[in-house]
Amino acid sequence: MAAGALLAGVVSVAAPQTAFAAPVCPGAGQPPVLVGRVPGAALEGVAVDDGGRLYTTDLISGRVFRLDAPGAPAVPVATVPGGRGAGALAWASDGSLLVGYGADARVLLGDILRPGAIAKLNTATGALTPFVSGLSAADGLDVDAAGTAYATNDFGTQIGRVFPDGRVERNWATLPSANGAVLGVDDRYLYVSRTFVNPGVSRIPIANPGAPESILDLSGLDTFAAPDGLTLDSRGRPVVPANVRGEIWRVDAPGQYCVLASGLPTSSMVVYGQGSGGFSAGRLFRIGFDGAIYEIPGGFDG
């Protein structure tokens, strides 16, 4: 989310690390393992291809980076138009990598200015082609089986829908401070974090976007945790980075969540690996506005 630059400076003030609300998930709590770094970057979006290669975006430079395996160097492969504000990533139905951009100060008025845009990256050639514009933002992004994409803005209320032919439905759904975006395996629901307004996690029925369902409402100190870019494990449970709290959570049931890892302030997004090598299937990875990529051993989904 683009809010990371604002949150990073207040982590130690807003959420003392001694404060603790949720229990550690059974079998979890192991220290995170550093597996990559992009020096000077504020990492916003992440996606892993079938070969286990990890792609991530930098809000500051607007660049897209590729890491071929844990421990490998980050290689810049593209830069979004304007050279700043690279946002969410998601795989399109044609195999290209959708790259959100426009994640800069304009997202504060995203519902009015609609600076959000999406480009298509050919990962084989490095060619980046603008695709659509006019979205509130693309802080979260996911694509359904039919090739339709959904884009969120944590500073706005509008969730956009983008069809494969480039048609844009700018206000498909309304949910204040929706952040991140991940579709359930059957594409019935779009899961989002709620970062600043009524913090928690919701799922939005694709067939009835006007009736979002809250599955987690935060209270106490966790009201200020700033849940960010989430994913789902193989059992459909949301896995959520709590940016300010510095924790990675798993939502086991409505209103019930536990801690997979801690000590990771400014976490912006989590993703599961793919394939048999590199950033492989079953392994959970975290990116952050500190430019670091960590594996979360407690989140292994084998």
Please state the domain extents for the chain.
4-299
- Give percent of the chain with pLDDT exceeding 70: 92
- Is residue 34 within 8 Å of 293, Cβ to Cβ? yes
Neighbours of 84 (CB within 10 A): 18
- With b for 16 or more beta-carbon neighbours within 10 A and e for fewer, the 169-205 pattern comes to bbbbbebebbbbbbbbeeeebbbbbbbbeebbbbbbe
- End-to-end Cα spacing for the chain: 28
For 4-299, which CATH class? mainly beta
Contact 22, 258 (CB under 8 A): yes
pLDDT of residue 112: 76
Answer yes or no: are the C-beta atoms of 164 and 145 closer than 8 Å: no
**Inter-CA distances, 80 with 57, 110, 237, 290, Å:** 10, 18, 32, 20
Instruction: Of 57, 187, 43, give the one whose Cα is nearest residue 119.
Output: 57
Can you read off the two tokens belonging to residue 261? 């890892």
On the question of pLDDT at 136 being above 90, the answer is no
Question: Position 133: which residue type?
Answer: S
> Is the per-residue pLDDT at 10 higher than 70?
no
Decide if pLDDT at 184 tops 90. yes
| H/E run at residue 200 | strand 200-205
Report residue 155's pLDDT band, with 50, 70 and 90 as the boundaries.
confident
Rounded mean pLDDT of 66-87? 96
